[in-house]
Amino acid sequence: MTMSRQLLFSQEDIQKRVRELACDLSSDYKGSELLIVGVLNGAYIFMADLVRALTISCQMDFVRVASYGSEKESSGLIKMTKDIETDISGRNILLVEDILDTGLTLRFLVDNLKVRNPRSLKVCAFLDKRPRRKTPFEADYVGFTIDDVFVVGYGLDFNEEYRYLPDVYKLVGNEDKNAEGAK
């Protein structure tokens, strides 16, 4: 099926919300050291904007996970394909993810990092698809809450395509007349 896309959040909407999140984080972590852990590949664009909007200093590291499943959904069989390279014991950790969907990826990552005894461990997700949860999971910071739609852009992909788009789009089937053709 040919995919089309509809604008969901513009660059302007996104940048405004990222500045708000950075403001909350800067105030919540003021006076404490902070290690931000990004989940590759999806989170890197959001994280790049977020850290540059912070008014506090932070360090950064990255994890990468692979999940076996269909193109649009994780199966719950998750494995870490790249670990962080920092000792997180006694440190304040903020996990940054592109989207919280079934919750399985972040559940896995939080459980995996918690046993390393961080001082604190919080989660910031750019998007939260609440109706899709398969395991109870609440992020501490959320950019936007969305319905059960598949989205691309601003780091989010479909088959590794569309991550580069500066706005967020909903992917829809070509029967939708208002949709802009996907490139």
Catalytic pick from 101, 147, 148, 176? 101
Helix (H) or strand (E) holding 113: helix 104-114
Q: Which is nearer to Mg ion, 42 or 103 (CB)?
A: 42
Closest CA to 46 of 130, 132, 156, 134: 156
Count of residues that interact with Mg ion, criterion CB under 5 A: 1
Q: Which is nearer to Mg ion, 29 or 158 (CB)?
A: 158
What burial class does residue 136 get, using C-beta atoms within 10 Å of its C-beta: 0-12 exposed, 13-18 middle, 19+ buried? Answer: exposed
Interface pick for ligand IMP out of 5, 8, 14, 42 (rule CB under 6 A): 42
Residue 27 Cβ vs ligand IMP, minimum distance, rounded to whole Å: 27
Q: Reply yes or no on whether 13 is catalytic.
A: no
Helix (H) or strand (E) holding 171: strand 168-173
Residue 37 touches which of Mg ion, ligand IMP, none (Cβ within 5-8 Å per kind): none
Closest CA to 3 of 174, 157, 179, 180: 174
Residue 26 Cβ vs Mg ion, minimum distance, rounded to whole Å: 25
Residue 105 touches which of ligand IMP, Mg ion, none (Cβ within 5-8 Å per kind): ligand IMP
Window 70 to 109, contacts with ligand IMP (CB under 6 A): 74, 97-105
Q: Kindly write out the interface string for residues 33-62 of this chain, putting x where it contacts Mg ion by CB under 5 A and - elsewhere.
A: ---------x--------------------
Report d(CA 147, CA 129) in Å as an integer: 6
Strand-pairing partners, residue 124, are 96, 141
Residue 150 touches which of ligand IMP, Mg ion, none (Cβ within 5-8 Å per kind): ligand IMP
Q: 117 Cβ partners below 8 Å, 6+ apart?
A: 88, 89, 90
Q: Which is nearer to ligand IMP, 118 or 155 (CB)?
A: 155
Backbone angles phi, psi at 92, to 5 degrees: -90, 120
Q: What residues line the site for Mg ion (CB under 5 A)?
A: 42
* Catalytic residue positions, numbered: 101
